[in-house]
Amino acid sequence: MQRPAWLNQLNHLLDHGDRPWRGLLLASVALVLLLLIGFAILLWTTSADSRQAFGWAFLRPTLDASWNAVSGEFDAWPFIYGTLITSFAALILAVPMSLGVAVFLAELAPNWLRIPLGWMVELLAAIPSVIYGLWGIFVFLPLVVAPVGGFLNQAFNGLPVIGALFAGPVPQSGSSRLAATLILAIMVLPTIAAVSRDVFRAIPGSQREAALALGATQWEMIFQVLIPYGMSGILGAVILGLGRALGETMAVTMVIGNSLEGSASLLRPGYTMSSVIANEFAEAVTKLHTSALIEIGLILFVLTLILNAIARLLVWRVANPALQGKRA
Amino acid sequence: MTTRVSIGDRGRPRIRSESGHIRRRMVNALVLGMTGVMTLVALIPLFWIIGYVVYRGGRYINLDFFLHMPTPLGVAGGGVLHAIQGTIILTVLSAIFAMPPGVLAGVFASRNPQHPLSVAVRFSTDVLSGVPSIVVGLFVYALVVKQQGHFSALAGGVALAILMLPIIIRTTEEMINLVPKTLREGSLALGASEWKTTMSVVLPAAANGLITGFLLGLARASGETAPLLFTALGNERLDAWRMVSSGIAAGQNPISAIIRLVEQPVDSLPLTLFKYSQQPYPERIDQAWAVALVLMILVLLVNIVSRLWVEYRSAKLQG
């Protein structure tokens, strides 16, 4: 390759430039580390107004929460509840499916099928979340969520405890926590499946051979040997998925209905932490409103920070070599 | 209990009680079959989304869509030139901000794998990649928008850069680890300094993988909406090309014209998609589908091409 003359001169000039080079490397490292600390500090200081005004009462669980920029009363509970219930319900749906996919991709699929299927699962994660949202509003909600919601309402409405979660009626458009749950389940599946697949593949072959040699069927080998062996890695994958579900913004904002009504039901519209920030932040007028929204962001940040740290430690323990190169 | 040993119809000896054996075989087949079905079910949304976006979006895509600014409601035609320009501006800015520190931090981590700082970098990269993108938006709002006093492409670029940074660091570290040690040692033995070895031997040797990783990072960033909502904000009226070219024609220095552009709020494809999808007008919804198609093709194309390229390269290296 032909290099321009100025570059050669520069090279010559810096021929013994290892010190500045090392300084440059260290500066970049410092920047990366400072970024994370900067997140914490900046979110903490800019949410000061809200933290002083409300204290811990901001997080108090309540069914008649107020969120009023005019009177300056803010409760974060409906958003926290919305985020937690949709994310956990999505995990309940997605985890068994993801493990099935991971087992199929890691243990069963023949080679010619494994690579293209693996790609497709990863493409599912690459589709931008606004496209999920658009598809959700116009296709998934009317065709799937509304009928499924109606069915769940009829099936569970009378029951004592669960009934409250399935109280209706489902809005005609389908916009509801259920819609957010289902979309989130689709969106976190590739994350959990891809990481657990890598965990399975990192388990030494001797484990499989030993189980099979003792007469186990392939399923018994997977269920009684591989899954316990990779448990902490799988748990890490699930937590990574949870982190993704908690922070997901656009698709959820577009399908959850963005409503503050005091209902705990999955079948009614709701709100999440990320969607209230997305909807209101650019138009927030009072300082207190802005600061309350940033405090919600701070809660989200701390929550995902803790979850990610745990998940990474768990995954690292089992699957360190296999995980190089996997972005969850 | 006696164990019956018999010769099966295919001549294989069957040991243990018949019924338990058959039950176990059946459970095995059933569950393993189910994992295959689950994989198929999991992929339904992928094909459903792609198919529907192509079907709805394909009808509204034409050349005007790429070449014209949006028209007022009720006026036929019009396109999303502003969003295409905005996406390009934001992507270029984020690449400029994220690549130098990302590559250098990756070089450091791969050069000193056991160094406590490298461990810290790896850990914070992992954690950073899990921070919700909307929180990144809040951070950049406090860091840039609040200081400047206005929304801008610059702030949007910083937000996307923070989202790309973990991908770049990780790719760089992995790709440098793949470069044979002998190359580096050869260069050092010839008397080249450490930094020169890295810049002119190691990084070029890793270039293929690096570029692939960067493209994936760019594709991811260009599909992001949440962090742009209150950083780049959106701007339906800005024709970036006209602004810069008329600025230069009016005797402005090109660099200051570009700086003025970067100070403006800009739109991007995902932002436009989101805003159009929230409007009650059918023509805006149609355009939203067309934008979705453009965005999807962009993202999927980069993903598929770069993966094929990686496969091709590794096949070539092995064969």
User: Which residues on chain B are in Cβ contact (under 8 Å) with A26?
Assistant: 108, 117
Cα–Cα distance measured from residue B160 to residue A110, given in angstroms and rounded to the nearest whole number: 38
Nearest CA in chain B to A97: B38
Whether B293 has its CB under 8 Å from any CB of chain A: the answer is no
Of A318-322, B72-76, B167-171, B238-242, the range with the lowest mean pLDDT is A318-322
Give the closest of B24, B143, B229 to A278, CB-based: B229
| CB–CB contact A128 B134 (8 Å) | no
Give the closest of B130, B131, B193 to A15, CB-based: B193
Give the pLDDT band of residue B1 (cuts 50, 70, 90).
Answer: very low
Nearest CA in chain A to B125: A32
Round the CA-based radius of gyration of chain A to a whole number and report it: 24
Give the pLDDT band of residue B314 (cuts 50, 70, 90).
Answer: confident
Which residue of A10, A25, A191, A239 to mutate against B (max B Cβ within 10 Å)? A25
Whether B310 has its CB under 8 Å from any CB of chain A: the answer is no
| CB–CB contact B39 A249 (8 Å) | no
User: Which residues on chain B are in Cβ contact (under 8 Å) with A115?
Assistant: 311
Question: Where in chain B are the domains?
Answer: 18-58, 82-318
Q: For chains A and B, count residue pairs whose Cβ atoms are closer than 8 Å.
A: 275
Give the pLDDT band of residue B18 (cuts 50, 70, 90).
Answer: low
Residue A16 has a pLDDT of: 66
| CB–CB contact B274 A26 (8 Å) | no
Residue B6 has a pLDDT of: 46
Give the pLDDT band of residue B85 (cuts 50, 70, 90).
Answer: very high
Examine the pLDDT at A59 and tell me if it is beyond 60. Answer: yes
Give the pLDDT band of residue B5 (cuts 50, 70, 90).
Answer: very low
- Residue B54 has phi, psi (to 5 degrees) of -65, -45
* Average pLDDT for B163-168: 94
Mean confidence (pLDDT) of chain B: 88
Cα–Cα distance measured from residue A307 to residue A25, given in angstroms and rounded to the nearest whole number: 29
Cα–Cα distance measured from residue B312 to residue B319, given in angstroms and rounded to the nearest whole number: 10
Tokens of A262: 């005091």
Give the closest of A103, A121, A126 to B42, CB-based: A121
Provide the shortest C-alpha distance from residue B174 to chain A (in Å): 7
* Average pLDDT for B2-6: 46
What are the tens digits of pLDDT across the range A75-105?
899 999 999 999 999 999 999 999 999 999 9
- CATH code for residues B82-318: 1.10.3720.10
What are the tens digits of pLDDT across the range B214-232?
998 898 899 999 999 999 9
Nearest CA in chain B to A38: B139
What are the tens digits of pLDDT across the range B123-138?
889 889 889 999 999 9
Whether B229 has its CB under 8 Å from any CB of chain A: the answer is yes
| CB–CB contact A217 B138 (8 Å) | no
| CB–CB contact B304 A103 (8 Å) | no
Tell me how long chain A is. 328
Nearest CA in chain A to B175: A325
Examine the pLDDT at A327 and tell me if it is beyond 70. Answer: no
Give the pLDDT band of residue A328 (cuts 50, 70, 90).
Answer: very low
| Pair B129, B162: CB distance under 8 Å | no
Residue A320 has a pLDDT of: 55
Give the closest of B131, B141, B223 to A128, CB-based: B223
| CB–CB contact A39 B174 (8 Å) | no
Cα–Cα distance measured from residue B278 to residue B293, given in angstroms and rounded to the nearest whole number: 17
| A48-323 under CATH 1.10.760.10, yes or no | no
Whether A39 has its CB under 8 Å from any CB of chain B: the answer is yes
Residue A323 has a pLDDT of: 44
Percentage of residues of chain B with pLDDT beyond 70: 93
What are the tens digits of pLDDT across the range A104-154?
999 999 989 998 999 999 899 999 999 999 999 999 999 999 999 999 988
Residue among A195, A240, A184 at smallest CA distance from A99: A195
Give the pLDDT band of residue B8 (cuts 50, 70, 90).
Answer: very low
Give the pLDDT band of residue A322 (cuts 50, 70, 90).
Answer: very low
Round the CA-based radius of gyration of chain B to a whole number and report it: 27
Provide the shortest C-alpha distance from residue B5 to chain A (in Å): 16
What are the tens digits of pLDDT across the range B285-299?
999 999 999 999 999
Q: What is the pTM of this model?
A: 0.90
Give the closest of B28, B45, B289 to A124, CB-based: B45
Percentage of residues of chain A with pLDDT beyond 90: 61
**Kind and range of the H or E element at A68?**
strand A67-68
Residue B13 has a pLDDT of: 46
Examine the pLDDT at A208 and tell me if it is beyond 70. Answer: yes
Provide the shortest C-alpha distance from residue A68 to chain B (in Å): 21
Residue A325 has a pLDDT of: 42
DSSP chain B: -PPP-EE-TTS-EE-S-HHHHHHHHHHHHHHHHHHHHHHHHHHHHHHHHHHHHHHHHHTT--HHHHHSPPPPTTS-----HHHHHHHHHHHHHHHHHHHHHHHHHHHHHHHSTTSHHHHHHHHHHHHHHHS-HHHHHHHHIIIIIHHHTS--HHHHHHHHHHHHHHHHHHHHHHHHHHS-HHHHHHHHHTT--HHHHIIIIIHHHTHHHHHHHHHHHHHHHHT--GGGTTTTB--TT--HHHHHHHHHHTT--HHHHHHHHHTS-B--HHHHHHHHHTSS-HHHHHHHHHHHHHHHHHHHHHHHHHHHHHHHHHHHHH-
DSSP A167: -
Residue A15 has a pLDDT of: 63
Task: Evaluate the omega torsion of the peptide bond into residue A160 and state whether it is cis, within 30 degrees of 0.
Answer: no
Question: Where in chain A are the domains?
Answer: 13-46, 48-323
Partnered with residue A67 across adjacent β-strands are A74
Q: Residue B137's CB: how many other CB atoms inside 10 A? A: 32
What are the tens digits of pLDDT across the range B234-282?
888 888 888 888 888 888 888 888 888 888 999 999 999 999 999 988 8
Provide the shortest C-alpha distance from residue B100 to chain A (in Å): 8
Name the amino acid, one letter, at B103: V
What are the tens digits of pLDDT across the range B199-216?
889 999 998 888 888 998
Cα–Cα distance measured from residue A247 to residue B130, given in angstroms and rounded to the nearest whole number: 8
Give the pLDDT band of residue B2 (cuts 50, 70, 90).
Answer: very low
Provide the 3-class DSSP secondary structure of residue A71. Answer: coil
What are the tens digits of pLDDT across the range A4-32?
777 777 766 666 677 788 889 999 999 99
| Pair B125, B166: CB distance under 8 Å | yes
* Average pLDDT for B298-319: 80
Which residue of A41, A99, A143, A250 to mutate against B (max B Cβ within 10 Å)? A250
Residue of higher predicted confidence among B4 and A135: A135
Burial classification of residue B74, based on how many CB atoms lie within 10 Å of its CB (0-12 exposed, 13-18 middle, 19 or more buried): exposed
| Pair A49, A287: CB distance under 8 Å | yes
Whether A277 has its CB under 8 Å from any CB of chain B: the answer is yes
| Pair B164, B218: CB distance under 8 Å | yes
* Average pLDDT for A159-164: 80
Residue of higher predicted confidence among A14 and A258: A258
Q: Is the ipTM of this complex over 0.85?
A: yes
Provide the shortest C-alpha distance from residue A15 to chain B (in Å): 6
